[in-house]
Structure formats: C-alpha cells, structure tokens
Amino acid sequence: MKYISTRGGVAAQQFSDILLGGLMADGGLSIPESYPQFSTEQLAEMAKLSYPDLAFAVIRHFVDDIPADDLKALIAKTYTAAVYCNGRNPADADQITPIIKLDDTLVIQELSNGPTLAFKDMAMQLLGNLFEYVLAAKGEQVNILGATSGDTGSAAEYAMRGKKGVNVFMLSPFGKMSPFQRAQMFSLQDENIYNLSVHGFFDACQDIVKDVNKDAAYKAKYKIGAVNSINWGRIVAQVVYYFKGYFAAAKNVGDVVDFCVPSGNFGNICAGHIARQMGLPIGQLVVATNENDVLDEFFKTGGYHPRGLDRTYETSSPSMDITKASNLERFVFDLVGRDASKLAAMWKSVETGGGFEISPTEFAQMRDEYGFKSEASTHEDRVVNIREVFEKFSVQIDPHTADGYKAAKAHRRNDVVMVIMETALPAKFETTMVEALNQPPARPAGLVGLEDLPQRFDAIEADAAKVKAYLAERIAL
Ligand SMILES: Cc1ncc(COP(=O)(O)O)c(C=O)c1O
Ligand SMILES: N[C@@H](CCOP(=O)(O)O)C(=O)O
C-alpha cells in the first residue's frame, strides 16, 4: 500500500516514510491510494478473531514495509488486557474495547480503558511501539511536536515516556483542560517529555504544529514528528475498533450498524468512514459536537466555516473545544472524488481564514451515500444525559460520551443497532460528573491523588517562532 497526499503534490510513499511525520510536504494529509475491501464472508471470519488478531488482519493491508511477523508481534504486545485494564469490568479486559448494552438497539463501546482513560490510548500505544521499531531500524531519532486539548497529550506522553530516540514537546491550551488532564501531563517528570502551555485554545496549538511542519528545512534539521491524528498511523489503528464494535454489536454479520462519535478534530469518526469504505456494513455515522458546533453546521448545511476566538467556547466537554477539524480534509478528499486540486483550493480558503460550501450533489452524497448525520449539545444537555444514563442504566458516562448519547438518541432508527463511542472515562471530568450525579466518579487506584503530585510545564505565547526557538534550544543535533 502506498500513500498519497490529499493535495496531490507529493510522490507516493511507503508506510514507514509517513509514520513519523505529520503533514505531507505540500501541506496535505497522507491517505492510502485505495482502501482494502472485505467481503461479508471475510468479515464473518474476522468476527471470530481476538482484538490483536483482528488488528493485524486490518492493519497488515496498510503496511507493506514492515515484515508481517514483526508487525504481528508489535500489535500483540500492544493490545493486552494488562494495558487496557481500566474498564468497568476487569473480566472483560481481554476484549480491549468491550461493549455495554443499554437496550436492544443502543450500546456503548468502551474505548477508554487504556493507561490515560481516553480513546487516544487505542492508537497511541501502538504508535509508541511502531515508532520505537522504525526508529531502531533506521537508526534515527524523532522529536514529536503535538497539540492537545487534554487527551492526546497525556496518551502520547504515557506511550512515549522513556522511549529511546524520542522526545515529546506537547502544546496545550493554558488553563483550559480539566484538573485531572492537566495533572496527568504536567506531573510526568521524564526527561524526554516537555509540556508547553500556550495562551490560546487548542486551535492555536494545532496551527503552530502545522506551521512548524510546513517549514521543511526546520522539520528536517530538528527531525520533527507528529502524534496527532494528522498522522495516518493514528487513524489506521482507530479503524480496527470499528470492526471490533461492529462484530460485538451486530446480531448477524452483514446487518447494518450505526455509530455515533463525539467529535472535534474528526480523527475518530474519520476512522469510521474508512472502515465503512472497506466494506464494514456501517449505516449512519453520527457526528456529535458540543457548543463548538462547526462540524454540526457542516453536516447540516454543507458549509464549513472554522471560527475565530470570538466564537470558540470553553465548554464542559473541553477535549472537543475545536473549531478547525484536521481530518475533515481526509473525508472531503473522498467526497470530492479524490480531486486533489479541488481539495487544495478548498483548504487554501480554510487556511486563509475562510471556509467553503460543498455543492448540493455533494451534500446529498455526504448524507445518503456516506451516511453522515450530526447533532450538537449544550452543558445542560450533558448534565441531563449523564443523569439519565445513570438513572436508567446504572452506567456513568463522561461529558463527551454524553454528547454522543444525545446525538445517538436523535438519530437512532428502529431495528438498527446504534453504537455510541465512549471517548473518555468520567474520572477525567470530576466537576461535571459531581454536578450531574452528586458523587465523584470512580478512578483507578493508581491515579488516586494524581492532582497532588508536583507539576512541571513551561508557559509560552501562541507563536510558532517562539515554539521553534524553544525546541531548538533543547534538541541535541
Ligand atoms: C474525550 C474526547 N472525546 C472526543 C474527542 C474528539 O475526537 P476527534 O478529535 O477524533 O474528533 C476528543 C479529542 O479529540 C477527546 O479527547
Ligand atoms: N481532543 C484531542 C485533540 C487532538 O486530537 P487528535 O486526535 O488530532 O490528536 C486531545 O484531547 O488532545
């Protein structure tokens, strides 16, 4: 499998070449030349596999340049019950992403049982192992520059801490993460981890990452790599759990199943789109947003208009406080028939502060052929829905998953199973959980007292030049 750029300006590359990087040289995102296809018969066989075997069955189609035995071993080492052990029911840990049945046609897929209690661990743990393998094979080092609204940062830091040849420089929005999220990142004392607290929202952090990535000379000199979902490695690992969730939720292989996904940077649901393109019988893909509802607007009107600071809000599902969704570019590339010059013009407008409108035909395709629907939530919705799920089903869901629950209720269909993706555990967002349920959420024993640990970070302005200088001072050449 070779990888091309959504903007068409780069020669096709191998998996190991794109694995460590962020943007392609032309500013676009890497995407496979085509998607592997699975028949219903093949799916029926895959349904019998354990999580690591299923992950290998999916991911091997995207990776030609790592020997199959090595890839299989890296995957087996990643997806173990010992790593994904923070779920509600320890006996389910070997399922890695077990499901909770709320009723006959509504289920939650647990994606947040890894070390940092968010779905990011699903891909990031594999990325850590792949990075280590590829760096050792190439005799190289990487300096990861990432942006986080709260969960990618800790997942990346836990996956990369102490790894040979890897430094992590993580930009996060100053004062906008939950106390738990902040403590998870800032309490790490490992020498290869640097936390930079940026005055601004996640969008400003992500813009800096993209600016640095666009400076080819700097990127090459300082060996800059990426762990955000602009990195294809993140997406491919996320594709796997749609297969797992489908097999766990479908009554029979071949039945249509809908998925509802709390969304911000559009990486999670983009993986669902790709699983669907590979032949997994997904019906609807429901995008759930919070008050930062740019994506809801896009899927309801066909107009994509990222917003400025004046219309970006701090919400109680803070990890989704995002108004520029990186991975929308990968989906729109497919939507416009993989026409790279059309796509490049659309994103040129986005990057210069504008947006775009898709045509009425594309809008109809997006909803009918690709199955996208959407819904937005408010803080009040979140509190009511957390309470409702607890009272009706005795299950505690976090505020982001509550956004998913609201959207799932709005779009569920008779006799079609709807899977809600659980994107974080309640322990990460104690204030909203207490407001909804009058009790603090449970947390794994190892994380009790996390907020009392000493914290270390550097504050920095939202300025790519200052971030470049910070990295240059610390990276040994
Ligand atoms: C808890 C949580 N839910 C939802 C999201 C949104 O996911 P995505 O950015 O892949 O759309 C994020 C962050 O991205 C998150 O951390
Ligand atoms: N919500 C994310 C934002 C970054 O998303 P990513 O999937 O592109 O890494 C976070 O928690 O940091």
Q: What are the pLDDT digits (tens) for 43-76?
A: 999 999 999 999 999 999 999 999 999 999 999 9
- Give the number of other CB atoms < 10 A from CB of residue 341: 11
Check pocket membership of 423 for ligand 1, CB cut-off 6 A.
yes
Whether ligand 1 lies within 6 angstroms of the CB of 118 is answered as yes
Mean pLDDT calculated for residue range 302-311: 93
Answer yes or no: is 385 within a domain: yes
107-127 pLDDT tens trace: 999 999 999 999 999 999 999
pLDDT for residue 405 = 98
Identify which has the larger pLDDT, 149 or 477.
Answer: 149
The answer to whether residue 403 sits within a structural domain is yes
ipTM above 0.90, yes or no: yes
- Which pLDDT does position 340 carry in this prediction? 98
CATH number of domain containing 98? 3.40.50.1100
Tokens of 91: 């006996």
Distance from residue 198's CA to the centre of ligand 1 (Å): 19
**For the CA of 226, the nearest ligand:** 2
Q: How far is the CA of 398 from the centre of ligand 1 (A)?
A: 12
| Res. 345: pLDDT tops 90 | yes
Q: Is the CB of 265 under 6 A from ligand 1?
A: yes
Ligand 1 atom nearest 322 alpha carbon: 9
Q: How far is the CA of 119 from the centre of ligand 2 (A)?
A: 10
Residue 319 Cα to ligand 1 midpoint, Å, equals: 6
Nearest CA to ligand 2 atom 4: 148
Per-residue pLDDT at 370 exceeds 90: yes
Domain contains 175 = no
Give residue 170's pLDDT.
98
**Which amino acids bring their CB within 6 angstroms of ligand 2?**
148-153, 202, 228-229, 264-265, 267, 319, 326
Burial 374-400 (b: 16+ CB within 10 A, else e): bbbbebebbbebbebbbeeeebbbbbb
Active site annotation includes 120: yes
58 assigned to some structural domain: no
Choose among 106, 111, 69: nearest CA to 88: 111
The CA-atom distances, in angstroms, between 416 and each of 259, 284, 300 are 10, 10, 22
Q: What tokens does 369 get?
A: 């052929």
> Does 292 sit in the ligand 1 pocket, CB within 6 Å?
no
pLDDT > 90 fraction of the chain, expressed in percent and rounded: 97
Query: Would 310 be classed as within a structural domain?
Result: yes
Q: Looking at ligand 2, which residue's alpha carbon is closest to its atom 12?
A: 148
Q: Which domain holds residue 332?
A: 90-117+235-437
* Per-residue pLDDT at 477 exceeds 90: no
pLDDT tens across 216-270, in order? 999 999 999 999 999 999 999 999 999 999 999 999 999 999 999 999 999 999 9
164 has pLDDT over 90: no
128 within domain boundaries: no
Is residue 21 included in any domain, yes or no?
no
Q: Which residues contact 300 (CB under 8 A, 6 or more apart)?
A: 374
**Nearest-atom index, ligand 2, CA of 228:** 9
Does 400 have pLDDT greater than 90?
yes
**Per-residue model confidence (pLDDT) at position 98:** 98
Averaged pLDDT of the chain: 97
Residue 45, in any domain of the structure:
no
Atom nearest to 118 CA in ligand 2: 11
pLDDT band with cut points at 50, 70 and 90 for residue 8: very high
Chain centre to alpha carbon of residue 423? 9
Q: 121 CA to middle of ligand 2, Å?
A: 11
Q: Which of 120, 382, 340, 336 is nearest to 231 (CA)?
A: 120
Coil, helix or strand at residue 195: strand
Residues 177-214: tens digit of each pLDDT: 999 999 999 999 999 999 999 999 999 999 999 999 99
How many distinct structural domains can be found in the chain?
1
Q: Residue 151: CB within 6 Å of ligand 1?
A: yes
Beta-strand pair 372-376/356-357: unpaired
- pLDDT score, position 309: 87
CA distance 213 to 210: 5
